[in-house]
Structure 1
Amino acid sequence: MALNFFDKLSQNFIELLNDKDDYNVIIKVENKEKSFMAHSNVLKCRSPYFRRELENIQPNENNIKIITKSSVSAQIFDIILKYIYGGIVNLENVETRFIFDLMLVANEFKLEELTNKLEILLIDTKASWLKTHFSLVYRTIYDAQNFKKLENYCNDIIVKYPNLIFDSSDFTSLQESALVSLLKRDDLQMKEVEIWDYVIKWGISQNSTLPTNLEEWSKENFFTLKTTLQQCLPFIRYFHLTTYEVLDKIKPYKKIIDKQLWDDINQHLLAPERPVKSIILPSRSVLVTDLPPRTNKSEEFFSTIVSKDHVAEISTWIDRNTTAYTSTNNPYKFELILSGTRDGFASQKFWELCHGHAGTVVVVKVKGTDEIIGGYNPLAWDNSNINNQWMATNDSFIFSLKNGNIKNSILSRVKNQNNAIYYMGKIDQKSFGPYFGCDNFYIGNQCQCKCKFLIADYERPIRTPSSEYFKIVNYEVFEVRNF
C-alpha cells in the first residue's frame, strides 16, 4: 500500500521557488526586462532543455548562471516555472491564444507532459478557436514538428475541407512537410488533377527565377522544379487520371517525371489491364454520408430565429473566411444551449445555463421588425465573478442578419479588444445577460435590449437609428462545435 502526499509536496516546492535566498540561476525573459530566480537542480531534473543549457553555461563571479530567453513573455514563463516546481498550471480567464503560445514554449523547454496536456486541451475544448486561426495553427505546428495530435487534427479537417489550405492566399508558403502529409492521405477530398495543379503551383512558387511562360523553360528549369517537388511527386495518383487530364496537365510537365513512370502512365491509358513497373497508388476515397430514410415528416430545425444559411454565414465570419460557407459545406454545428421561449427571459437564467460554454453565438429576434441581431463570444462565459469584469479578445463580433426587409447583413468586429465582452458580477447577473462592448449590444432582464448607435468598442452599429432600446420576442444561445 502506498500513501501519496503530492499536494503538500507541490506546496513546498512552490515555497522553494518563492524563496529568494538559495537560488543559483537567473532566467531573463521578455527582452531581458523581467528576471526569474530558480534552482539549477530543480530545472535540470524537470527539463532536458535546462539540463543542456546549464551544463554549457559558466557561472558569474557570484556563482550564478544566467539564461536569456528574450522571446518568452513574463506571464508565460511564470506559469512554466510554477509547473516545473509544483506541477500546477492555472489557466482561468486566459485567452486561447495564450494557451497555444504556452504550449509552444512548453515544447521549446522539452516539457513533454505539459505540452501533451495543452495539445489535448486545445483539441478537446478550443476547436472553434483552432478553426478561426487555422492557418496560424497549421503552419506553426509544422514549424515545430512535434505536435502530432494537432497535425492529425488539422489534416482530418483539411481532407474534408481542402479549400481551407489550398485556396488560401498563403498556400504557396505552406511547409513542404505539411503538403506531403496531405498528399499521402487517401481521403483527401479533391480531384487528382486539381491536386496536381496545386502541387505544380506550389513548386513553381518556391523558385522565383522560373519563367512565367512554360514554352520558355529550359532543361535546367524543369530539373529545378523536379528537384523541388521530389518529395511530393511520388504521392500523385497518376494512374487514376483520365486521358484528357494526362494530355492537358501532366504532359506539359513530363520532364519532371521519371521516364519509366511516364511510359507506364501512357501504357496504362492504352492497355489498363497490363501490369506496369511503377507503383500504382490507390485512388482517393470519396467520403459518403448516408442519407436518412425518407419520411413524410418534415425535418425539425433547431432554431426558431436563424436558418441554416444564417448559420453558414456566421460560421464564415468565425473562421474569417473570404470564401463563404454554405449550408452543405459548413464545418460547424450549432448546439442550442438556451432558448428564451423555452427557458425563460430572466438574465440569471443565461448565466446559469451558459456558464463554462466557450465559442457561443447569441441571436435575438427584434419585436415588430424583421431584424435578427446577435454576437459571437469565443471565450467561456463565467458566472463566478463577484464583481463585473471586462474580458479581452480579438475574435468577438456582433452582427445583423439579412432577413425579410433587411436586405444586407452587417458584420461588426471588435476594435477595442480590452472591452470586448463584459462579464457580470453576482449582483448584476440579475439585470444583464450577454453584454458586448460598452452598450454596443446587450440583453437585459425580461426582453429589454440595447444597441448603441455611436461607434464604441466595435467597428460599426448593427441597427439603424430609431431607438437604442428595443424589445425582443425570443433569443437563443448556441455553442459552436465541429461536426
Structure 2
Amino acid sequence: MPFESFQKTCKNLRSFYEKGKFYDVQIIIENHPPNAKTFYAHKFFLCSQSPYFERQLIPDDDDINDKEENVTNLLVIKDISTEVFEVLFHSTIEFNDKSGLELFEILLGANKLKIEVLVHGIQSHLIEYQNEYLCKNFAMIYHPKTLDSNDFKFLTSILKNYIPLIRFIQFSSEQFKSMVRPYKKILPTELYEELIEYFLTPGIKLNSINTIPPPRHGLIDSTIITSKHAAFIASWVDRKDKQNIYFYPYECDENPYDFKLLLRGSRDNFSSTVFHEMCDNKTNTVW
C-alpha cells in the first residue's frame, strides 16, 4: 500500500477507535508507567500491516480456530514512548512539523513494530529533506557495533586524507571515548596508541604532535554564536571599544581567548537550577 493511501486509511479508522467502537485489541504503552496510555484497534488491520503485531496477536496458527470469537486482545508495549506510538498508531505524520531527531525516533519505533510502509516513507523523507541531520548525527544512526570489517575498510578509504586534519587534542576524554574510540579501526595504529596515552596522561608530549594540527583559537562550540561573535565579545573584554574612537574588533584568527561551553540548554536543560549548578562560581564567564 502506498504511503499516502496508508495514512488516509489510518485516518478513517482513527475516528472509530477514538470513540471506542469496532475494536478487538487494547494496546497499553507503558514506557513510563505513570503516563501509560491505552489505544484501541482492530486485530485484522494491525496484523495485515505489521508482522510484529501478527506475531504478538496470533502466536500460533494452530490455535486460531480454538480461540473464542469477539474476544478483546490485550497487548502491552514497554519500550516505545507514548508520543512516538501515538504518531505510529495514527500514521498521520506531518513531516514539516518534525525535527530530524523526532523523525528518527519515530523511524526507530516503526522499525521495531515492523510497519514497513512507515519505515520506507520516513526513510525517504529523511534522506531527501533531512540529509544535513543525518550527516551531523552519523554516529547515532550508524552505530559502530553494526559496522562490519568491509564497512570500516570503506570508511578508511574515504576518511584517510581527512584524519591528519582532525584536532584530536581538542577533544575531552569523554568525547574521545564516545566519538573516536569506537572508530579506532580507521585510525593509524601508532596515532591511536599515542592518543590513548595522551588522554590517560594529560600533558604528555606526543611524538606525532607535528601531524596533529594545533587548536584553533576562536573555535566555538555553540549553536547560538559564531567565532565572529566570540571575537567581538573578546574585544569588549579587552575594552578595545574604549581605547580608540575608531573601534576595530578582533578578527576570528586574532581572538586571544578560548571559549569553553559551560551549559547548553538543549543538552543540559533550561532550568535555573541547572544554570546555577553549572555556572555559579566560575571565573571569567560570559553569558
Which is richer in strand? 1
- The answer to whether the 8 Å contact 1:30/1:71 transfers is yes
- Aligned mates of 2:231, 2:178 — CA distance in 1: 40
State the 1:14 CA deviation. Answer: 2.8
Q: 1:126/1:158 Cα in 2 relative to 1: closer, same or farther (>3 Å)? A: farther
Q: Verify: 1:139 aligned to 2:129, yes or no.
A: no
Q: 1:8/1:402 Cα in 2 relative to 1: closer, same or farther (>3 Å)? A: closer
Give SS of 2:76's match.
strand
State the 1:367 CA deviation. Answer: 6.8
- Aligned mates of 2:108, 2:144 — CA distance in 1: 9
State the 1:74 CA deviation. Answer: 0.7
Which is richer in helix? 2
- Aligned mates of 2:26, 2:144 — CA distance in 1: 29
Where does 1:334-349 land on structure 2 (aligned, <5 Å)?
A: none
State the 1:104 CA deviation. Answer: 1.2
- Aligned mates of 2:68, 2:181 — CA distance in 1: 44
Number of corresponding residues: 225
Q: 1:368/1:28 Cα in 2 relative to 1: closer, same or farther (>3 Å)? A: closer
Where does 1:274-353 land on structure 2 (aligned, <5 Å)?
A: 309=216, 313-314=219-220, 317=221
Look up the match of 2:260: 410
Give SS of 1:63's match.
coil
In the alignment, which of 90, 95, 102 is matched to residue 94 of structure 2? 90
Q: What stretches of structure 1 of length at least 5 have no aligned partner?
A: 146-150, 199-307, 319-358, 373-400, 421-436, 439-454, 469-483
- The answer to whether the 8 Å contact 2:26/2:72 transfers is yes
Comparing 91-100 and 25-34, the one that deviates more: 91-100
Look up the match of 1:434: none
| Aligned residue type for 1:117 | G
- The answer to whether the 8 Å contact 1:79/1:90 transfers is no
Look up the match of 2:15: 15
Deviations along 1:172-208, whole A, 9 cap, x unmatched?
A: 995xxxx8xx98xxxx7x65x669x99xxxxxxxxxx
- Aligned mates of 1:457, 1:96 — CA distance in 2: 30
Look up the match of 1:104: 108
Q: What stretches of structure 2 of length at least 5 have no aligned partner?
A: 169-174, 194-214, 238-250
Q: 1:405/1:40 Cα in 2 relative to 1: closer, same or farther (>3 Å)? A: closer
What's the TM-score once normalised by structure 2's chain length?
A: 0.55
Deviations along 1:98-118, whole A, 9 cap, x unmatched?
A: 322211111111122322333
- Aligned mates of 2:39, 2:144 — CA distance in 1: 27
State the 1:412 CA deviation. Answer: 3.0
Bigger relative contact order, structure 1 or 2, given CA contacts below 8 A and separation 6+?
Answer: 2
State the 1:130 CA deviation. Answer: 4.5
- Aligned mates of 2:137, 2:145 — CA distance in 1: 12
Q: Verify: 1:364 aligned to 2:237, yes or no.
A: no
- Aligned mates of 2:59, 2:259 — CA distance in 1: 60
In the alignment, which of 70, 73, 84 is matched to residue 78 of structure 2? 70
Deviations along 1:104-144, whole A, 9 cap, x unmatched?
A: 1111111223223333444455455545554333328829x
State the 1:39 CA deviation. Answer: 0.8
State the 1:65 CA deviation. Answer: 0.9
Give SS of 2:75's match.
strand
Where does 1:15-54 land on structure 2 (aligned, <5 Å)?
A: 15-31=15-31, 33-54=36-57
- Aligned mates of 2:76, 2:177 — CA distance in 1: 36
Q: 1:361/1:129 Cα in 2 relative to 1: closer, same or farther (>3 Å)? A: farther
- Aligned mates of 1:17, 1:121 — CA distance in 2: 28
- The answer to whether the 8 Å contact 1:414/1:458 transfers is no
Deviations along 1:223-266, whole A, 9 cap, x unmatched?
A: xxxxxxxxxxxxxxxxxxxxxxxxxxxxxxxxxxxxxxxxxxxx
Look up the match of 1:55: 58
Q: 1:368/1:46 Cα in 2 relative to 1: closer, same or farther (>3 Å)? A: closer
- Aligned mates of 2:108, 2:43 — CA distance in 1: 22
- The answer to whether the 8 Å contact 1:370/1:403 transfers is no
Give SS of 1:68's match.
strand
Report the RMSD for the aligned CA atoms in angstroms: 5.2
| Aligned residue type for 1:118 | I
Work out the percentage of aligned pairs sharing the same amino acid: 19
State the 1:42 CA deviation. Answer: 1.3
- Aligned mates of 2:142, 2:130 — CA distance in 1: 15
